[in-house]
Amino acid sequence: MKTLLSIVTLAAASALSGVALANPQLAKAKNCMACHTMDNKVVGPAFKDVARKYAGQKDAENRLVQKVLNGGAGNWGAVPMPANKAQVSQAEARTLVKWILDLK
């Protein structure tokens, strides 16, 4: 019983630690801030502009996770977003996208 409780506690702590990283520090650690800021377009769009553009779209989270991982072009201008699979895990991409979509 103690082992089961330890496993459950560890799993809960792991899940909560992912939520704690859903902030600008994770974006900075994953080099997102080289091209994006919270409020202003730099090379890529501002995170708040992304949140506004995709607000209310059911498939936005999954589409943007794929965009973070695989890159893309044409949605925000001529400069393509590079793929980030080598630097960002799928879980980290999902955490970042959820955080961005929650910005107001």
Q: How would you write the pLDDT of the chain (104 residues) with one tens digit per residue?
A: 544 343 434 344 444 444 445 589 999 999 999 999 999 999 999 999 999 999 999 999 999 999 999 999 988 999 999 999 999 999 999 999 999 999 98
Q: Could you tell me which residues are beta bridge partners of residue 36?
A: 41
Each domain of the chain, given as residue ranges in start order, spans: 22-101
Q: Which CATH topology does 22-101 take? A: Cytochrome Bc1 Complex; Chain D, domain 2 (1.10.760)
CA neighbours within 13 Å on the CB side: how many for 27? 17
pTM for the model:
0.77
CA distance 56 to 53: 9
